[in-house]
Copies of this chain bind each other. A is one copy, B any other.
Amino acid sequence: MEMEGEAGVVVSGGFNAGRVGVKCGRWNPTTEQVKVLMDLFRAGLRTPSTEQIQRISNHLSFYGKVESKNVFYWFQNHKARERHHKKRRRGSSPDDEAEHQFVISPDCKREAKLNHRSLSCFSEVEERVTWLERPCRDIETLELFPLKAYDLEIEKMRSTRTTTTTEIKELSFFDPPLELRLSFL
């Protein structure tokens, strides 16, 4: 069981994630994979949804082995470390400021229930509004990959409730392994 098969289209040189025997090391993204992730990040994507992660993972798997959790972790770490680095270097190039390009639709605002608590958060610290800019569908990102038929269906499903109530999603696609993920995003 667990045939490697090597049906992938390994491109990069530093690609070693193709099963390391018994004890599998950590994921080592290829150059192309990093490029794609970077592009997405600089396009403004910070906290991809479950479907987005799945789609990104699918796309990246073309360049080499990757799992959903890798994509998840990558965004977590990159987001956090970008902030840290920003704090250090005071004169950061304006190039890095590609965030907040997501619109906050009135619907999202309504969903967010702008009560006293939310308002205070919003006006106090600017960095605490992430929960406001996330619920809205970040359209740019999704367009980066060709939407397959069922993708559109999922889109429709999603549009019915754009709330932040993270739901469990079934991910029985043709991703790396049959992968499972909790509604962590």
A104 contacts partner chain B, Cβ-Cβ < 8 Å: no
A23 contacts partner chain B, Cβ-Cβ < 8 Å: yes
Q: Give the residues in chain B near A69, CB-CB below 8 Å.
A: 168, 182-183
Are B170 and A178 in contact (CB-based, < 8 A)? yes
Interface size class of A (residues with CB under 8 A): 20 to 34
Are A180 and B168 in contact (CB-based, < 8 A)? yes
A120 contacts partner chain B, Cβ-Cβ < 8 Å: no
Are A182 and B23 in contact (CB-based, < 8 A)? no
User: Which of B68, B165, B177, B178 contacts A182 (CB under 8 A)?
Assistant: B68
Are B23 and A165 in contact (CB-based, < 8 A)? yes
Q: In the docked arrangement, what's the CA distance between A181 and B167, Å? A: 11
Interface residues of A in 150-185 (CB under 8 A from B): 161, 163, 165, 168-171, 177-184
Q: For residue A176, which residue of chain B has the nearest CB?
A: B168
A24 contacts partner chain B, Cβ-Cβ < 8 Å: yes
Q: How far is the CB of A135 from chain B (nearest CB, A)?
A: 14
Are A170 and B180 in contact (CB-based, < 8 A)? yes
Q: For residue A170, which residue of chain B has the nearest CB?
A: B178
A75 contacts partner chain B, Cβ-Cβ < 8 Å: no
Q: In the docked arrangement, what's the CA distance between A24 and B168, Å? A: 13
| 21 A-B pairs whose Cβ atoms sit less than 8 Å apart in the complex | A22-B161, A23-B161, A23-B163, A23-B165, A67-B168, A69-B168, A69-B182, A69-B183, A168-B177, A168-B180, A169-B180, A170-B178, A170-B180, A171-B180, A179-B180, A180-B182, A181-B181, A181-B182, A182-B182, A182-B184, A184-B184
**A180-B180, A181-B181, A182-B182 provided; 9 other pairs, C-beta below 8 A?**
A23-B163, A67-B168, A68-B182, A69-B168, A69-B183, A170-B178, A170-B180, A171-B180, A180-B182
